[in-house]
Chains A and B, each alone.
Chain A
């Protein structure tokens, strides 16, 4: 019974981690290759969620809506890169933080103007709302299982693209020495646009998968963004492998902490002390983990070496 519960919570942790990974991968790619701190990554997540919700309502077909929303977020990402971010690459990180923070406000207000401040209605299609039997006695929601599968598939696909294709080679080369890559005749600007669009689509994917389970509303992106930054600090900034490992660690630590920290504390503290300390500590765990990583391995667990 308890073993099954731990297993189920492990799946929950993995699912949360995978969601974080989709966000972290794009953020870390953009940082590693383009040296750009993009606070507005959460806005692209929100755009993905809104587009998917809108297309589901318009077309009634979930899969079609997913495809359209992905394409839409990619397009929004490319436009943002062309219009706003191009001018920021040569500036220092503080300027980038300020400008992309401005983008957060811009997107939140734009969404509020277009769709209103109230959360949109979104739900799961019937064929995704059931449960599967993982093991005898362990039921798991189909949709959350699907999120895990999609996330792992994206991780595998990213690995193939980065390490086995020409585009991936350019990305790695651009990360290690962009001047040399440009000198060899590669259109580095185009490469940047492609990478940013790609990262935006990943954020959009996370957002559209979050739509049916979370509240689709202005400002939804910032709630997950903080945890994503924790992930890339732990994993090592600029490293996709680090993002994957960091996401799974953060997902697991957060979920298992929320589930089991209080009962664990209750074995040696008074119930009321455990009641107070449990939730407080559980919500701090990932930040304490980040602080520990920063103290003992400031470059992160898997520092980027040409990714």
Chain B
């Protein structure tokens, strides 16, 4: 009897152990760095809101794993961004670092993250260094290389036969890339090339110089608050009616509500737009508007894509976060439903994608909206991928 009893007891214990849930599945930790305070805080809000929407769409799981998001505010400062990344790597032991608006912040953060053996999934800044010599197998971006968008604008303006261009941008890594990219395809005359301080508020002095140089066209790159200020002051100077303004990353869903008619008719190039007709994008836009009550920008769409890309990678390795080779191979396929539609990765892990010409169109209700006019580039590659030594 005693032995039978013991056997029953043992089998009961065994059975109990067997039906116990498997050891809690690993949690994936994602550090997301963006600017959440100060004048650029609104860009960070678009990105953070989009990340949260992506998590909603994924049922609050990434690649089937529970997810812990750690948000960090870089205040548009490279040193602060670097500190945040170090903290995420050492204290939180994150598996992915994502986000980053500013190229100068990206150049400080990305090498620190990838050299620690952690994935860096950029969702905005695309400095040329990271596309070329500094490319890394752990670095992916869901946005673009900085030069690409102004290349599209340069191409369009070249095709239009425009000349006597006055070019302006803030004096930092991306500003230089933008003008560089523009000049790669625009071969007409450039009568002035002006770099202003990053975060500058007043452009009256530059606008006076611009008027004196008497250009036929103006091309600018002024993201976020700088764009709001430049567009207002350009319109107030009375130049809007005289000298057409072409821009990149200046007139968007963040700046339009603040400047309205001061940007009416403005031309932009971009890889994405809210009116891009594909299922993933329509769902993203509709659910975003429903949840947050405003229209997202490309900053948001890229950040949404970033989470989806990470999701596809973890799914491909069945939740095994130690299988970095497997995740790299999966991400290279870009096998997820991007808000821009399907795209491929170049050797340097920058997207090969379309670029469109957009225009700020006034709607009957007086509001303005960016609308796609035509495709400028199809499957456009960045100019630096040959400098990247990565082979796959």
Contact = CB atoms under 8 A, between A and B. Distances in A.
Interface stretch (B37-45, B52-60, B123-131): B37-45
Interface string A190-224: 00000000000000000000001111111110111
A120 B38 CA distance: 14
Given A16-B204, A118-B254, 14 more contacts: A12-B204, A117-B41, A119-B257, A121-B257, A121-B259, A129-B236, A213-B233, A215-B258, A216-B258, A255-B204, A258-B205, A259-B206, A259-B209, A283-B171
A108 B37 contact: yes
Contacts of A1: 212
B344 interface: no
A215 B225 contact: yes
Interface stretch (B98-106, B191-199, B309-317): B191-199
Interface residues of A, number: 47
Contact of B237 (A9, A120, A141, A220): A141
8 contacts: A124-B236, A139-B238, A141-B237, A143-B236, A215-B39, A217-B39, A218-B39, A279-B195
Interface string A108-129: 1000100001111111100001
Interface residues of B, number: 38
A161 interface: no
A258 B257 contact: no
Given A12-B204, A121-B259, A123-B260, A217 B45 contact: no
B262 interface: yes
A119 B42 contact: yes
A41 interface: no
- 5 A-B pairs with the lowest CB-CB distances in the bound complex, closest first: A119-B258, A215-B228, A219-B38, A279-B195, A283-B197
Contacts of A131: 238
Given A5-B208, A212-B232, A218 B257 contact: no
B228 A112 contact: no
Which of A139, A216, A258 is the most central at the interface, judged by chain B CB atoms within 10 Å of its CB? A258
Contacts of B254: 118-119
A279 B202 contact: no
B229 interface: yes
B41 A280 contact: no
B171 A279 contact: yes
Contacts of B209: 5, 9, 259
Given A5-B212, A9-B205, A259-B209, A217 B197 contact: no
B278 interface: no
A143 B232 CA distance: 13
A247 interface: no
A141 B235 CA distance: 11
Nearest to A142: B236
